[in-house]
């Protein structure tokens, strides 16, 4: 049994979706082909066959009902064996779907469109980082300029205050 990785459930889900699409297409094609071939005579023949098959199945069900009590006594052993079989099949199916999904994801990753998208995303991230750096530098420069302007304004105000005080003292002379 393969070792499960954290992405195995994702691969199994992708594989199941891919398998479902494949099966749906096959059934759709089959139904379309069958309806295209049907005419009234063929339809009547198919209906007669279906009725005959139903009668045979009914007879089989009646025969099974007669042997049901004996089968019920064997049910626990049969159920355990069936459960073990189904569990093994489920595990195998899970692994198959995970493998199918992994192949699908790898195929998508290697497509030109995906590679172009990854390149474009990397370029966008790079530009965003550069823009952030430029904005930070601009903000730092603006902060320094504001501080310098405030310092200059304080010095100018102090000088103006001294000049006004000196002028005021001379006015009275």
Q: pLDDT band for 65, please (50, 70, 90 cuts).
A: confident
Please say whether the beta carbons of 33 and 119 come within 8 A: no
Per-residue pLDDT at 34: 75
11: its two tokens? 């691969």
Per-residue pLDDT at 173: 59
Q: Which of 94-103, 136-145, 156-165 ranks highest by mean pLDDT?
A: 94-103
Per-residue pLDDT at 2: 56
Per-residue pLDDT at 5: 64
The stretch 123-143 carries a mean pLDDT of 89
Per-residue pLDDT at 91: 92
Q: What are phi and psi of 5, to 5 degrees?
A: -105, 170
Q: What is the per-residue pLDDT across 84-131, written as a single tens digit (0 to 9) for each?
A: 999 999 999 999 999 999 999 998 888 999 888 989 999 999 998 998
Task: Name the residue with tokens 């965003």.
Answer: 128
Residue ranges covered by each domain of the chain: 8-110, 113-166
C-alpha angle 167/170/173, rounded to 5°?
A: 160
CA distance 156 to 159: 5
Please say whether the beta carbons of 97 and 16 come within 8 A: yes
Mean pLDDT, the chain, rounded, equals 84
Half-sphere exposure of 3 (CA within 13 A, CB side): 1
């Amino acid at each position: 049994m393969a070792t499960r990785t954290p992405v195995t459930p994702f691969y199994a889900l992708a594989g199941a979706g891919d398998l479902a699409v494949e099966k749906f297409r096959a059934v759709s094609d089959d139904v379309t082909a069958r309806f295209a071939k049907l005419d009234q005579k063929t339809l009547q023949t198919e209906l007669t066959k279906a009725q005959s098959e139903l009668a045979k199945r009914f007879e089989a069900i009646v025969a099974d009902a007669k042997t049901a009590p004996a089968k019920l006594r064997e049910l626990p052993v049969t159920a355990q064996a069936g459960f073990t079989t189904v569990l093994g099949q489920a595990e195998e199916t899970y692994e198959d779907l995970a493998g199918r999904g992994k192949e699908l994801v790898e195929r998508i990753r290697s497509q030109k469109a995906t590679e172009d998208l990854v390149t474009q995303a990397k370029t966008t991230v790079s530009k965003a980082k550069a823009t952030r750096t430029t904005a930070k530098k601009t903000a730092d420069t603006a902060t320094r300029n504001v501080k310098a302007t405030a310092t200059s304004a304080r010095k100018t105000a102090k000088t103006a205050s001294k000049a006004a005080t000196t002028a005021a003292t001379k006015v009275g002379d």
